[in-house]
Amino acid sequence: MAFKIENVNLVYDIGKEVQTYALKDINLALEGKRLIGIMGPSGSGKSSLLYALAGLKIPTSGKVYYNEAEYSRLSPSKCAELRRKDFGFIFQRHFLVDYMTVLDNVLTPINDDSKAAKVKALSILDKLGLAHMSGKKPHQLSGGQRQKVAIARALISDPKVVLADEPTASLDHGNAREVMNFLEGYKKDRMIIVVTHDPSILENADNIINMRDGAVTSVENRKGGV
């Protein structure tokens, strides 16, 4: 899996007096199975970059490629299909369905309630220490447990790329570390991209993209080459 971003700008409020460059002249190439952090203060463009990578935000100018496909050349349905097949999303808020059990929440992205699918969901929940909670409803869980369920849900479809926007922001330090340990365990088969303003959760990242005011200020290479 590989992303390429060429001369990307994302501007809000075009035509108005005040314009915001959420992304400014971004050029990046991301490749391979690794953990990549996107770091910067609030408002620096981290989420915008993540959503541009996922094809969820179309830049004002410039090009974004996933493998060989340039998003603006794909139809919306093709784009949605690609995301469903290749990407898993984790958001700061978990967006679990409250009337469904933990197990059913994990199964929603694959729309499959076969025995095999349930076994797979339970094995992911087990790795997160939550198999015993599979029959509970989200409101019966702690905040940390709910976020772990959201992570299990993001992984059930075996995504090639996991895109996580501040996945640990609502967790205490211990739970944040546990979630990061778990994601780090997944990087040998996947590209994991984690947006955060907290450097401590990116201790084991292979690369860190530093952002400020919509621009990439540096790309750190911790363990291998991009």
Ligand X SMILES: Nc1ncnc2c1ncn2[C@@H]1O[C@H](COP(=O)(O)OP(=O)(O)O)[C@@H](O)[C@H]1O
Nearer to Mg ion, 47 or 145 (CB): 47
What does 148 interact with, of ligand X, Mg ion, none (CB < 5 to 8 A by kind)? Answer: none
Residue 20 CB, nearest approach to ligand X (Å): 5
Residue 47 CB, nearest approach to ligand X (Å): 3
What does 22 interact with, of ligand X, Mg ion, none (CB < 5 to 8 A by kind)? Answer: ligand X
Considering the rule CB under 5 A, would residue 196 count as an interface residue with Mg ion?
A: no
What does 45 interact with, of ligand X, Mg ion, none (CB < 5 to 8 A by kind)? Answer: ligand X
What is the 3-state composition of the chain as percent helix, strand, coil, each rounded to the nearest 5?
A: 35, 30, 35
Considering the rule CB under 5 A, would residue 47 count as an interface residue with Mg ion?
A: yes
Helix (H) or strand (E) holding 153: helix 143-155
User: Where are the alpha helices (H) located in 19-128, listed in sequence order?
Assistant: 46-53, 76-86, 102-107, 115-127
For residue 56, give both structure tokens. 């969820």
* Number of shown-chain residues binding ligand X (CB under 6 A): 12
* Number of shown-chain residues binding Mg ion (CB under 5 A): 1
Residues 20 to 79: which contact ligand X by CB under 6 A? 20, 22, 40, 42-48
For residue 52, give both structure tokens. 């541009």
CA 97/CA 160 separation, integer angstroms = 24
CA 8/CA 48 separation, integer angstroms = 11
Which positions lie near ligand X, rule CB under 6 A? Answer: 12-13, 20, 22, 40, 42-48
